Every structure is written in structure tokens, then in C-alpha cells.
Amino acid sequence: MTNQNNILVSALDGIKVLDLTRVLGGPYATQILADHGAEVIKIESKIGDEVRGWGPPFINEMASYFINVNRNKKSVAVDLTKQEGRNIILELLKTSDVVIENFKTGTMEKWNLGYEEVLKDKFPKLIHCRISGFGAEGPLGGAPGYDAIVQAMTGMMSINGHPNGGDVRVGAPVVDMGTGLYATIGILMALRERHKSGLGQFIDMSLYDSALALMHPHTGNYFLSKKPGKATGNAHPNIAPYDKFKTATNEIFMGIGNDAGFARLCKALKVDHLITDERFLSNGDRVNNREDLTKYLEDALMNVDGVEFSEKLLSAGVPAGPVRNIEEALNHPQTLERNMTISKEDYTGVSSPIKFSRSKSVGVKHKPPSIGQNTKEVLKDAGYSKEEIQEMLSNQIIFENK
């Protein structure tokens, strides 16, 4: 997309998002939108999003947990328990395309800000995205949801970890972040549909639904086998070889999804006889005889340099790579080549992985804001006078960072 001066612009320039979310799923979604040009106004309470305190580490009294999902946003601090504060939301919604919130279900309705009751008619083009733990209905409707709790409840922990090692939480908050991704997709779909209908709509996102949707292939396996699945360590339940292996120097991970790749692996390891072994002719055979195959591969790999051999396999089109820690991954030449870290002054974060041929990411337009850092600025742009803003500050309807 280019403007009249043929200057590259971002894909979501002109889209305004009112962000009433906190913690992770919602802020992750709105940072994706902000990174690609949307104007995101983050509404906080006087004490702010609680993850500001989820550290150490900290910088400028903000935890790493907060700053890495809240760049390119402006912060407005408002007391939404007061009608005057809720009136500000209604004022800001006049120019907003999207509102996203993760209050306890029923809260927006209690505040007379419900979509069906108020917002749908008052702002017919508005897209309202709600993120909740379990949705509003059903036996768990309205209950609070947290990433690890939902991992436990949807079977995700049951298929993670090692056999006989007990159920284990996935180390990254994949439910929160997955919900954030699904929410972003839903918002973009609704924006696209609005071009045809001229109308906004309500998007009902829950951590529970998203977690179930992320459980492939285990749910698919269950539908066919009626077996609930179990933890397999680093091995894949449907593919072999697909596991972590020791080498003479370091551990590597290999994932061989077809017969041609398996033949190339065998030739690279000089165990060509395995290609025609009846136990390993197809992927199904290799899965059924996983233990025998693993023993052959472990013996052969003990004589190779892990990094060098991984690169050899990759060049031959065989998926493999050395097991690295986070520091090694962030400093790897491929990470640098792909510009996957982004910095501004004392801020460093992971870049947006979405790369367009014409549209551009905004980079770090705004560092993560302090609580209420942009309160006066945003309200002035919304049409409030200096006197009105000062009166609301005095009455503690709004707050600003000192």
C-alpha cells in the first residue's frame, strides 16, 4: 500500500483501537495491530495493568512481561468505576473502529457499555472483541481463566512432558498468546466483512476455545482412535523419527515427515540398509517400530558433530537443528538477518514476524508507556478542553504519570 506520495505505509494505518485489556492475550493482540499501523489507546486504571509488576527483571519500574506486549500504544488512565470515566470511553468510541476488552463477562453490561444493549446501536460500525476465560454461557460461563489453568483443563498438560513424568505445563503461555492471535485474526476478518456490510459485530473469544483449537493433532487422533493421547517427551505421536538426539558434541532435533527425507537421513548417517528394512519402509512402520529405529539412529549419531551435521541435513532438505537456549537463538545470525529483534533507546523486544512486500511495520514508534502517560494528549485530541481535563484530574476521574 502506498500513499499519494508513493511512500510506504503500514497495513493498518487509519484503524483506531480502544484497548481495554490487561495481562497477556488482549495486549498481545493489540500490539500486533499497533506494530502494523493501528492507533492503539490502552485504557488503564490508576494502578495500571498488573503485569507491570510481574518481574524481575524491570526497567523504568516496568516488568519485562509488560514491556514486551505493550509497545506502540498510548496509555490513558481512567477510573471506570465512575460514570464520568465511562463517559470518556463512549467519547473515545466515537472515532474507534475496534474495542477489545477482557473484563469479567457481564462487566461491560453492568456499566451500560454492553454490545447488544448499547454499543451496537450507538456505534453501528464498531467491532467489539471480548476475550474471556470460558465465554459467558455454559457450566463454566463467566469463570476467570488463566493460561496454565486452561492448559490443565483442556488436556494440553496431559500430552506435554515425558512418559511417567506427570502432566507438565507448556513453558510458553501458548493459550494466552494463541487467543491473542485468534482475536487478531477475528478482528481483521470483521474489518474485512465491514467493507461489504458497513456494519461492525461482536467477537466472542475465549481461552478455553482457543486451547482446544490448538490441540492438533491430539484432538484429531482422539476422534479416530478414541484414545485420549499421552505425553511422549520430545517424540511426535504421529511421526518418526521426530525427536531430540545426542551427538558427539551437542543435542539436535530432527523431524522426518516423509520417506524421501528418511532416505536422505540414512544416507547421511551411512546406514543405508535401514531404507529397505521392512520395519521402517513407511512412516506408519517407523512409528510402530520407533524404539528399534531410535536405537539405530542414536548409535550412528554418536559419531557426528551436531551443529555441522544439522547444517548438512538442512542443506539436503532434511529438517534438523541444534538445541539452543534463548540467548543463543536471539544472537544467531539468522535472527539478525531476519531483523527479529527491535530496539529504541533502552527498549529491546522481539519484532513482528509479519513481513509484507510493500506495507511496513512501524518499528518502535512508541516505547511501552507509563501509566496514564498520554492521558492529556489523547483527551485533548478527543475534543476535551484544557479546563475539562484539569477538572477530571482534580476529581480523580483520570490520572497522568508524573
pLDDT for 149-176, tens place per residue? 999 999 999 999 999 999 999 999 999 9
pLDDT value of position 142? 94
Phi first, then psi: give them for residue 374, nearest 5 degrees: -115, 15
Cell of 227: 484414545
Note if 147 is an active site residue: no
pLDDT value of position 3? 52
Q: What SS3 state is found at 214?
A: coil
Which residue is catalytic, options 19, 49, 176, 243?
176
pLDDT value of position 2? 46
Q: Which domains does the chain have, with CATH numbers?
A: 16-214+345-399 (3.40.50.10540), 242-330 (3.30.1540.10)
pLDDT value of position 7? 59
pLDDT value of position 402? 64
Cβ proximity of 286 and 262 under 8 Å: yes
pLDDT value of position 132? 97
Cβ proximity of 151 and 170 under 8 Å: yes
pLDDT value of position 30? 98
Cβ proximity of 163 and 237 under 8 Å: no
Low-confidence ranges of the chain (pLDDT < 50): 1-2, 6
pLDDT value of position 314? 92
Cell of 269: 548417517
Cis-peptide into 144, omega within 30 deg: no
